[in-house]
Amino acid sequence: MLLKAVFFLFLSFSSLSQAESLGYQTLSPAQPTQNKDKIEVIEFFWYGCPHCYHFEPVLEKWLKTKPANVEFIRQPAIFSSLWGKHAKAYFVAEALGVVDKVHADFFDAIQNKKQKLTSEDQLAKFFVAHGVDEAKFREAFNSFLVDSKMRQAKAMAPRYGITGVPAIIINGKYKTNGPLAKSQENMIKVMNQLIEQETQAK
């Protein structure tokens, strides 16, 4: 019985080592996806993370040619109060339908212009400068929808075993990041390989 347990432990370790040598980890247990008809790709990020900032152009290039069967989801990670304030800005943009308009500029404002953008008033000024009505911004900022997304977001990183960003989850089953893939460009290659693998499995 002991030998059998040791054998299965060895198999599990070998499988884990093989996955990591290919630039990813297998999630155990696998997590459910929002749409079973699509291959779900989740990006965990933080606006204050320089690695996320440098990954953004690489990711944007991929988004222009991503497979039609892929559903891409941006997911702000929340590991502190500051991360939470930036996450809230993203969820407000999402609620207002202006992510495409403000996402890259918000990264630029934090990373290059060193703006704080943490208070409601600071964020209101930023959103208004991007064509958003101030009243609509404040309504979204204080909405039940955004509050719900914030509460959900706090549980998301632990659920997927995320300890740093940027990190990518493929179809609830696999995780890759810079250290695993060895480079941000290789993260895209690993992601594409796993998407293809999951597509064929369907």
Cα–Cα distances (Å) from 54 to 23, 46, 51, 185, in that order, read: 19, 12, 5, 11
Give percent of the chain with pLDDT exceeding 70: 90
Please name the helix (run of DSSP H) or strand (run of DSSP E) that holds residue 143, with its range, or none: none
Handedness of CA 95, 97, 100, 103 (dihedral sign): negative
* Confidence (pLDDT) at 130: 97
Residue 189 lies in a domain: no
Residue 10 lies in a domain: no
Number of folded domains in the chain?
1
Q: Is 34 helix (H, G, I), strand (E, B) or coil?
A: coil
pLDDT in tens, 92-109: 999 999 999 999 999 999
Q: Which residues constitute the domain of residue 158?
A: 81-163
**Least-confidence region, from 6-20, 50-64, 155-169:** 6-20
Domain CATH number, residue 159: 3.40.30.10
Residue 111 lies in a domain: yes
Residue 107 lies in a domain: yes
**Dist. CA 87–CA 85, nearest whole Å:** 5
Tell me whether strands 174-177 and 25-26 are parallel, antiparallel or unpaired: antiparallel
Residue 98 lies in a domain: yes
pLDDT in tens, 120-175: 999 999 999 999 999 999 999 999 999 999 999 999 999 999 999 999 999 999 99
Residue 9 lies in a domain: no
CB atoms near residue 184 (< 10 Å): 18
pLDDT in tens, 168-202: 999 999 999 999 999 999 999 999 999 999 999 87
Residue 15 lies in a domain: no
Residue 200 lies in a domain: no
**What are the tokens at 161?**
């075993």
> What pTM, to 2 d.p., does this model score?
0.88
